[in-house]
Amino acid sequence: MALQSKQIYVNLPVKNLKASIDFFSAIGFAFNEQFTDENATSMIIGDNIYAMLLSEARFKDFIDKPIADAKSAAQVIVCLSADSREQVDEIADKALAAGGRSYSEPQDHGFMYGRSFEDLDGHLWEIMWMDTAAVE
């Protein structure tokens, strides 16, 4: 029997929670205030998809390994879908304007288009659009 997940929570350590909230707010994300305090917030990505931004001290409560420095090493790339090529550019441009960094050239394959950025802590994010009709 295959595991059927109902929700996804990506947990990311951040150095400055307020700065991270400001950064992702500037891109257009909202937060669940019910799960927000001085150590953590629940960023709403989509229906049943959340990024838990945790202060490094709070993140350490869940692990017994050192926290990787996302500015010098990559562990994951969080890839989010967009509704259009224009929305890919809109989100990536907002991330760069809010202090993020581009980390690769845009990828344009005609039927698929994506851009990438690093958040304030160096976590890697990709925004991509795909013409599903072209793939079928």
Query: 133 vs 67, which has greater pLDDT?
Result: 67
Condensed to tens digits (0 to 9), the pLDDT of residues 26-85 reads 999 999 999 999 999 999 999 999 999 999 999 999 999 999 999 999 889 999 999 999
Provide the β-strand partners of residue 127. Answer: 80, 115
Domain spans of the chain, in order of start:
8-62+69-135
**Residue type at 118 in one-letter notation:** E
C-beta separation of 14 from 8 below 8 A: no
Condensed to tens digits (0 to 9), the pLDDT of residues 95-108 reads 999 999 999 999 99
Q: Kind of pairing, strands 124-130 and 112-118?
A: antiparallel
d(CA 134, CA 136): 6
102-130 mean pLDDT: 96
Fold observed for domain 8-62+69-135: 2,3-Dihydroxybiphenyl 1,2-Dioxygenase; domain 1 (3.10.180)
| 136: pLDDT strictly greater than 80 | no
**The predicted structure's pLDDT at residue 96:** 98
**The predicted structure's pLDDT at residue 32:** 96
**The predicted structure's pLDDT at residue 56:** 97
Provide the β-strand partners of residue 10. Answer: 51
C-beta separation of 67 from 56 below 8 A: yes
d(CA 82, CA 56): 29
Residue with tokens 């390994």: 65
**The predicted structure's pLDDT at residue 4:** 72
| 1: pLDDT strictly greater than 70 | no
Query: 7 vs 29, which has greater pLDDT?
Result: 29
DSSP 129: E
**The predicted structure's pLDDT at residue 6:** 84
